[in-house]
Chains A and B, each alone.
Chain A
């Protein structure tokens, strides 16, 4: 099957819950792999992203590496999807936005309980933190937003099948409302 749809996924500043939710499509994953070929994703452990049809991003943008990965995805993916509250809004990690970065680092590396050898790490290997956590659409253009923390497996399934079949995107009420 030469023209399988190529899909890449990445987790930026998220908890991997959205990726776990992707796996909640359960046995439908067998149907999915008939239609798609996975490029860079934690499922394949491929580390660089090639040209793809769909890029799916979990998590917000919290550091310089997130920016880099996100830009690579945007460059290589025809359609980019923000998956879950963190990618859409910044989500849980953005709760640090009401504090100064310095306060966060001091709490974690200096004042925290049980910290040995207190110091704020400055190794060039470590990605630099942005002063605030941002939703991904504030860094690159995003084509679709899937809300939820995480969006359910069914929601992700509906979305992917509609997108792949070229149908308009729409959901049953209970797949995107939580009341």
Chain B
């Protein structure tokens, strides 16, 4: 098919209202990008006409999402995961190797249009990295041999369907099972058992059980799930929505990937249960673009559920119990994990966080009451409905009932998924995953907490160290500044740019961290970092900006000796290499006289 035909097919009028089509805009663009390797100008014009919106707004959307491009990418479009966990496994050398072998510079298509090589934030394959996306598919366990093989396949123009299947293998690596993943309870939510409980009792009874279980959101913030569902149920409206947050963008988090790979039916059961309780007839799974390879299998699970009468009209024969789920893809924006940005993105817009309040439970998708929950939360809710509040409360602590999935990566023998009762000590976790010679642990991802190993008596729980699941281990051979630098660059890349404290503060902080890494930061700069960091925490519009300085502040607070050892001991150091800043002018003018240089001041 030509690009023209592809575009025509993708954006063919669906017969729904313009508002409904408008909310599909991002999905149209993702499909066009996927099939054409870019969004041709023609497609923009046609969409603008069809949806009666300015072309510039569509371009604004393309500019916002990292996976959308107005210029063609290579036939083979490679995005190497640039998360710190990939760095630990040697990804930076592999990037160089890839670029050298293929003769490309990062981000620039090769002259023959064959290939582009670029980086992307965490791909969520942290336990089997380094990883890359190739035309949207994950390739795991990269080694220099595998890179050579990949380069050969590209040079030979081998179709991706002909590539060795083991390249694309992504394992679950479940290392510890507890309440949620145990084999004994695996059947609990099968064949719509949770929905049957709902039909045998009623929404109020389910809400009571969920509230009694003490279940709190697994996405990180830990809001009480029962309360969230009740607010949504009570909100005045004719249409309500259920949204599953599968954006999983926090570096080092990959447990939702495993749940969607092997427990999708339970997750959808949880969403449908929620729909029955709050009275929603439409649901969305917001799947991060990095997990596009799960789209087909997930759609197959949805089809099976429709065939079994667990989705669609009159679910399980119950009149008026109508609910169906649509999968929306993200396009490489971490901020879209924040629930109000996610909703904006679902509506086909740029993922700029909304003002809160009002919260999604009253004004969510299309301004209607909406429950947004994490993948793991929905699965837990479905199990609780069947197995009861006491079953759930047998594990955990008073404020953090039940269990939590941790996705563990970094310097340990056995990275993977570990399900623990809340309250488990960091020490226990380190022992189980085979971490030795540990220096520090980064819990809850880039936005989380850096703990020196001396703090290993602390516990994973909302009352102590809380996490959406990310748990990264750093041993004594690692330079923690690499991690902090990686995270501060991550936040600059992922800031949506809406508010100044995060957009500007994040960049200033990044520059200062770079200066520290390069050995040019002074005590004065440390003071600046503290001041900027605390301002960002106080003044940012959303959670991204208010957590972005955490790694820097934790480094300064918990590792003062490390910082001290890297400081320049002059009163002041310039922010950049002054003489190097003249190099471009020297190249252009050919000058090399004394005036063409700047001395370093002593």
Q: Which residues on A are within 8 Å of B, measured CB to CB?
A: 64, 67, 71, 100-102, 105, 120-122, 124, 127-132, 134, 137-141
Contacts and interface: CB of A to CB of B under 8 A. Distances in A.
Q: How large is the interface on B (under 10, 10 to 19, 20 to 34, 35 or more residues)?
A: 20 to 34
Interface in B557-592: 571-572, 574-576, 578, 581-586, 588-591
Contact of A102 (B524, B588, B591, B593): B588
B187 interface: no
Interface in B328-375: none
A166 to B, nearest CB: 23
A132 B585 CA distance: 11
A101 B575 contact: no
B51 interface: no
Interface stretch (B303-311, B542-550, B594-602): B594-602
B574 A139 contact: yes
B584 A122 contact: no
Given A129-B585, A131-B585, A124 B591 contact: yes
A143 to B, nearest CB: 11
A138 B598 CA distance: 15
B572 A120 contact: no
B575 A64 contact: no
Given A64-B595, A138-B576, A128 B585 contact: yes
B571 A128 contact: no
Given A101-B588, A102-B584, A128 B595 contact: yes
B595 A120 contact: no
A128 B574 contact: no
Nearest to A142: B572
Contact of B595 (A127, A137, A139, A140): A127
B524 A141 contact: yes
B589 A122 contact: yes
Tell me whether chain A's interface is mostly helix, strand or loop, or mixed.
mixed
A101 B580 CA distance: 14
A130 B597 CA distance: 10
A139 B578 contact: yes
B291 to A, nearest CB: 34
A37 to B, nearest CB: 27
A141 B571 contact: yes
Nearest to A102: B588
Contacts of B597: 64
Nearest to A75: B601
Contacts of A121: 589
Contacts of B585: 101, 128-131
B574 A64 contact: no
Contact of A105 (B582, B588, B593, B595): B588
A138 B589 contact: no
Interface centre among B584, B591, B593, B601 (most CB of A within 10 A): B584
Given A67-B598, A122-B591, A134 B575 contact: yes
Contacts of A124: 591, 593, 595-596
B596 to A, nearest CB: 5
Which 4 pairs across A and B sit closest by C-beta, in order of nearness? Answer: A122-B589, A138-B575, A141-B572, A130-B581
Contacts of B583: 131
A55 B275 CA distance: 68
A44 B583 CA distance: 35
Contacts of A101: 584-585, 588
B581 A120 contact: no
B584 A131 contact: yes
Contact of B581 (A71, A102, A131, A137): A131
Interface in B165-192: none
11 contacts: A67-B578, A101-B585, A121-B589, A124-B593, A128-B586, A131-B582, A131-B583, A131-B584, A138-B575, A139-B575, A139-B578
B582 A64 contact: yes
Given A101-B588, A127-B595, 4 more contacts: A64-B598, A102-B584, A128-B589, A130-B581
Contacts of A138: 574-576
Contacts of B572: 140-141
A89 to B, nearest CB: 10
A128 to B, nearest CB: 5
A63 B578 CA distance: 10
Contact of A120 (B576, B588, B596): B588
Nearest to B579: A64
A122 B581 contact: no
Interface centre among A124, A128, A129, A138 (most CB of B within 10 A): A128
A171 B578 CA distance: 35
B558 to A, nearest CB: 28
Given A67-B598, A124-B591, A128-B591, A134 B576 contact: yes
Interface centre among B588, B590, B593, B596 (most CB of A within 10 A): B588
Nearest to A141: B572
A141 B591 CA distance: 30
